[in-house]
């Protein structure tokens, strides 16, 4: 049984609740345990995963958050840099599922976050578990 870290950027609590529900359900359905930590925003997720990975307590990680396009360039920076940093950590051997939604509006976020619709939290958790299994098989 693995312990999975669910790292959430809790900028939009009502959307994150849906992402967390999907991720928790997927991890528990796979027979694993989980712990949740919260950071302010999506840019902090890669650092949080990197810091907690050093503890050796977790076998896989799920990054959860929502970035909604605004009127400034900030959306592009947050979306691109959080994804880039998570990919960099993945290439270092960490099993990470990226569940950071990058959307145009709240309606798109709800459709993707809701476990009864897009279930992107569940998808990210299953991706992390698949990478964990792959790493265990070929380690």
Give the position of tokens 């900028």. Answer: 11
Residue 39 is predicted with a pLDDT of 98
What gap in Å lies between CA 74 and CA 2, rounded to an integer?
Answer: 36
In the chain, how many domains are there?
1
* pLDDT of the chain, 139 residues: tens digit per residue: 889 999 999 999 999 999 999 999 999 999 999 999 999 999 999 999 999 999 999 999 999 999 999 888 899 999 999 999 999 999 999 999 999 999 999 999 999 999 999 999 999 999 999 999 999 999 8
CATH for 25: 3.40.50.960
Catalytic residue numbers, as ranges: 74
Query: Residue 43, annotated ligand binder?
Result: yes
Residue 1 is predicted with a pLDDT of 81
Tell me the CB-side half-sphere exposure of residue 133, using CA atoms within 13 A: 10
Query: Residue 27, annotated ligand binder?
Result: no
DSSP one-letter code for 115: T
Nearest to 126 by CA among 92, 97, 86: 97
Query: Residue 52, annotated ligand binder?
Result: no
Q: What is the pTM of this model?
A: 0.97
Asked if 134 contacts 63 with a C-beta cutoff of 8 angstroms, the reply is no
The domain of 22 spans 3-138
Give the position of tokens 């099993």. Answer: 95
């Amino acid at each position: 049984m693995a312990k999975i870290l669910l790292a959430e950027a809790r900028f939009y609590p009502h959307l994150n609740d849906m992402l967390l529900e999907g991720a928790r359900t997927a991890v528990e359905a796979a027979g694993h345990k989980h712990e949740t930590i919260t950071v302010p925003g999506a840019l902090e997720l890669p650092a949080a995963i990197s810091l907690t990975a050093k503890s050796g307590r977790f076998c896989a990680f799920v990054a959860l958050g929502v970035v909604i396009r605004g009127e400034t360039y900030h959306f592009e920076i947050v979306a691109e840099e959080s994804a880039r940093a998570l990919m960099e950590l993945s290439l270092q051997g960490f099993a990470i599922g990226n569940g950071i939604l990058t959307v145009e509006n709240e309606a798109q976020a709800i459709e993707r976050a809701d476990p009864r619709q897009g279930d992107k939290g569940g998808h990210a958790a299953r991706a992390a578990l698949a990478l964990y299994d792959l790493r265990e098989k070929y380690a």
